[in-house]
Amino acid sequence: MKFPGILTKNILMETTGEISLPAQVKLLPGHCGLPKLVIQISHSSAEIYLHGAHITDFQKTGEPPLLFMSAASRYETNQPIRGGVPVIFPWFGPRAGQPAHGFARQTSWELESASVEKNGEVKVSLRLSETSMPADWRAAQLRFSVTVGDSLTMELSVTNRSPDKSLSFEDCLHTYFAIGDIADVSITGLQGAPYIDKVDGASTKQERGAAITFNSEVDRVFPNASGSVEIHDRKFHRTIVVEKSGSASTVVWNPWIAKSKAMADFGDEEFKQMICVESGNVGENQITLPPGKTARMKVILSSRRVE
């Protein structure tokens, strides 16, 4: 199968000019014909759209999906996908005259390599081509690698190719987790941390409870929060662990009732089935890269059953 724009370089087992992927990886048309990688190994499966390098599914065998996807998501070339893991770059949040959360999540990425690791995990690497980026961001070289195993490992790397200018940006892996019921979920790992409360005029507050629970809209940006976070889901009998490096900020978001209704690509009731715990470098943690340097953010998502 041939898809335009896909690099053949580094892909295992090329045959007769066509791209041959390892048997565990298939490149198929997804929603609205957008190409997606479908990865299947013995203990898990995953799907990644080239549009936005967007992971739309990761599921361990015998468990509910780890990632939430909205049934109302658009799959259009000039729109972000709603759910999964949007890759946010080079700014976080709205920006006048520009797409909210940056252009990376609504630009088509290229598959660079796909391989099976010695331990049976599958690793794919995507890159954002220079020509598909706005002219003033072409100094940035973006790669996103995804390793599918018993856990899901994501690494976003940004290299500043400029010979003489530094590069400042925000980035974020805006992960939507699937949960049994928002009323039965709590988040730990952020106790005592200061945060910017985006639903209260961006005022600065401090997380005081033993865990974050949800009974209204939550939109909190935690600067200088580089530790692991756990999502305790009593209905699914599951604890999800978010471990990370190279990420100084954590964002926790649930849109609740009014905002859900206001979003065209999100179901009115879907806020009950999702929670975003986002790993990034935003606001005061934005990154400034000297010429020639690379910033790497790695996020590992794992889960365990809890009785």
State the minimum distance, in angstroms, from the CB of residue 279 to ligand BG6: 11
Nearest to 219 by CA among 182, 262, 177, 259: 259
Query: Does position 258 bind ligand BG6 by CB under 6 A?
Result: no
The catalytically annotated residue of 51, 101, 174, 230 is: 174
Residue with smaller CB distance to ligand BG6, 22 or 93: 93
Size of the residue set binding ligand BG6 (CB under 6 A):
9
Using DSSP's 3-state secondary structure scheme, residue 151 falls into coil
Q: Which residues does residue 49 pair with via DSSP β-bridges, in sequence order?
A: 36, 54
Q: Which of 218, 240, 251, 275 binds ligand BG6 (CB under 6 A)?
A: 251
In the residue annotation, 43 being an active-site residue is answered as no
Token pair in block for residue 79: 């729109």
C-alpha of 145 from chain center: 11
Span 74-103, contacts to ligand BG6 by CB under 6 A? 80, 100-101
Indicate the helix (H) or strand (E) that contains 169: strand 167-169
Bond prior to 64 in cis (omega within 30° of 0): no
Residue with smaller CB distance to ligand BG6, 198 or 261: 198
- ∠ CA 209-236-44 to the nearest 5 degrees? 120
Span 217-236, contacts to ligand BG6 by CB under 6 A? 219
Q: Which of 75, 222, 236, 253 binds ligand BG6 (CB under 6 A)?
A: 253
C-alpha of 242 from chain center: 12
In the residue annotation, 237 being an active-site residue is answered as no
Pairwise CA distance, residues 276 & 178, whole Å: 9
State the minimum distance, in angstroms, from the CB of residue 101 to ligand BG6: 5
The catalytically annotated residue of 47, 170, 270, 278 is: 278
Evaluate whether 300 touches 159 at the Cβ level (below 8 Å).
Answer: no
Pairwise CA distance, residues 243 & 95, whole Å: 29
Using DSSP's 3-state secondary structure scheme, residue 97 falls into coil
Query: Does position 214 bind ligand BG6 by CB under 6 A?
Result: no
Q: Which of 133, 278, 281, 301 binds ligand BG6 (CB under 6 A)?
A: 278
Residue with smaller CB distance to ligand BG6, 58 or 253: 253
Query: Does position 54 bind ligand BG6 by CB under 6 A?
Result: no
Residue with smaller CB distance to ligand BG6, 14 or 284: 284
- Name residue 229's amino acid: V
Query: Does position 271 bind ligand BG6 by CB under 6 A?
Result: no
Write out the residues near ligand BG6 by the rule CB under 6 A.
Answer: 80, 100-101, 174, 198, 219, 251, 253, 278
Residues labelled catalytic: 174, 278
